[in-house]
Amino acid sequence: MAGRNGLFVPGPTNVPDRVLRAMVVPMEDHRSPRFPALTRDCLEGLKAVFKTSTATPFLFPSSGTGCWEAALSNCLSPGDMVLVARFGQFSHLWVDMCHRLGFEVQVLECEWGEGAPLERYEAALAADTAHRIKAVLVTHNETATGVTSDVAGVRRAMDATGHPALLFVDAVSSLASIDFRMDDWKVDVCVSGSQKGLMMPAGLGVTCVSEKALEARRRTARQPVCYFDYIDMQNQNRNGYFPYTPPLPLLYGLRESLAMLAEEGLENVFRRHAYLAGGVRAAVQQGWGLEVCAKQPQWYSDTVSAVVVPAGTDAARVIDRAFRRYNLSLGAGLSKVAGKVFRIGHLGDCNELMLMQAIGGAEMAMIDCGLPIEPGSGVAAAQRHWRAHEAEASGTTGGM
Ligand SMILES: *Cc1c(COP(=O)(O)O)cnc(C)c1O
């Protein structure tokens, strides 16, 4: 098919040309005296993105899922209890991993489309007077439903009950796109990956670990861990090296993407994501007269919108039509919301006119599938939104 594929799945996201070019490098000796400078640039740059001066970022050759496993295996012991809310496919997969690794899992079941239930977290923690819960897990941005949760609120619930559990946060689809604060929120492990807000290919597990979590690893944790051992990684990283062969091109790419984020300014990056998301929601709600899956505005995600199609329509047909006819990749509905939603990713290296491709293409695909949508209605609503909010547009990237 001629022209570029419109890639609007919520990861992998579009990789800026600058980052692509930075990754075209000859292989080199990862034990050379030159190599540590690259490691240090990446890890120092990540501290700014995690908003931490006290925690330790690590890069594992894995996807984000590997960092979930790293968090659980490094900090806990067999049979430990974890507290976790399930409100979408990614929080579900985290619960599933906890079961499969042999932990006792207390699940706060929520409707898909809701965010982290702060009162129920607090009640569960208050009830746990014996402090059997060793870790509290929360998915900051549930990518399946387009729901952002209040991580600071979860921390407040923990503090209000004086509960000493560790706080693990999945920020795979929020880091570097939606404000995340490792130190302010006293997060113990933040789990992320390279292929979403960091504008990179998949392949780097990007994580950050507090002193308290490292202390747990050293003193109390008995879960077996080897490949993902924080201590091995920390010992090597201290001198700029890795315990095994790192994916060199990805490190060069990450250094470039971190430079781009710093040039734009992290706060401007967040503002741009909020502004772009506002235009997409205007298209969905005002233009098409549809709803997003997130049940309340407080949970609207600035990185992904799950568009609920009218009952009786199969969203998978819209996605298929968009791809085959218009070379447009929309995100599928996963698990419980399969067929009910399609998703538009609006994160990473993105601007208004790129999103016009997604909105215009989704609109045509829906009309082709028989939905009663007025041609141009979503595009017009997005135009009106973005033209009316120019002051918030600061930092729109050139992407070159
Ligand atoms: C993408 C995603 C994951 C999975 O990450 P992988 O890099 O595919 O392993 C986990 N959680 C959330 C919230 C995600 O968006």
Cβ(62)–Cβ(191) below 8 Å? no
Report CA(72)–ligand 1 centroid distance (Å): 16
DSSP letters of 347-400? -SS--HHHHHHHHHHHHHHHHHTT----TTHHHHHHHHHHHHTGGG-TT-----
Asked whether the predicted pLDDT for residue 13 surpasses 50, the reply is yes
Predicted confidence band of residue 392 (pLDDT cuts 50, 70, 90): confident
List the beta bridge partners of residue 170.
Answer: 139, 191
Cβ(259)–Cβ(344) below 8 Å? no
pLDDT tens by residue, 124-140 = 999 999 999 999 999 99
Predicted confidence band of residue 347 (pLDDT cuts 50, 70, 90): very high
What is the DSSP code (8-state) at residue 142?
Answer: E
Report CA(93)–ligand 1 centroid distance (Å): 9
Task: At 388, give phi and psi (nearest 5°).
Answer: -80, -15
What is the DSSP code (8-state) at residue 138?
Answer: E
pLDDT at 391: 86
Report CA(54)–ligand 1 centroid distance (Å): 25
Q: Which domains, ranges and CATH numbers included, belong to the chain?
A: 6-12+265-393 (3.90.1150.10), 17-262 (3.40.640.10)
Predicted confidence band of residue 394 (pLDDT cuts 50, 70, 90): low
Report CA(158)–ligand 1 centroid distance (Å): 25
Residue 172 near ligand 1, beta carbon < 6 Å: yes
Distance from C-alpha of 126 to C-alpha of 231, rounded to nearest angstrom: 32
pLDDT at 131: 98
Query: How much is the pTM?
Result: 0.97
How large is the average pLDDT for residues 63-85?
98
Residue 205 near ligand 1, beta carbon < 6 Å: no
Beta strands 304-308 and 341-345, pairing class:
antiparallel
Tokens 């800026």 found at? 16
Distance from C-alpha of 352 to C-alpha of 383, rounded to nearest angstrom: 9
Cβ(195)–Cβ(67) below 8 Å? no
Instruction: Please state, for a pLDDT cut of 90, what percent of the chain lies above it.
Output: 97
DSSP letters of 22-74? HT------TTSTTTHHHHHHHHHHHHHHHT-SSSEEEEESS-HHHHHHHHHHH
Asked whether the predicted pLDDT for residue 241 surpasses 90, the reply is yes
| Residue 211 identity (one-letter amino acid) | E
> Which atom of ligand 1 is nearest to 196's Cα?
1
Task: Calculate Rg over the CA atoms of the chain.
Answer: 21
Asked whether the predicted pLDDT for residue 366 surpasses 70, the reply is yes
On average, the pLDDT of the chain sits at: 97
Query: Is 343 assigned to a binding site?
Result: yes
Cβ neighbours of 235 (radius 10 Å): 12
Predicted confidence band of residue 399 (pLDDT cuts 50, 70, 90): very low
The first and second tokens of residue 82, run together, are: 């974890």
Predicted confidence band of residue 393 (pLDDT cuts 50, 70, 90): confident
Predicted confidence band of residue 71 (pLDDT cuts 50, 70, 90): very high
* Residue whose C-alpha is closest to residue 137's, from 101, 129, 146: 101
Residue 179 near ligand 1, beta carbon < 6 Å: no
Predicted confidence band of residue 395 (pLDDT cuts 50, 70, 90): low
- What lies within 8 Å, CB to CB, of 164 at 6+ separation is 131
CA atoms within 13 A on the CB side of 186: 13
pLDDT tens by residue, 254-292 = 999 999 999 999 999 999 999 999 999 999 999 999 999
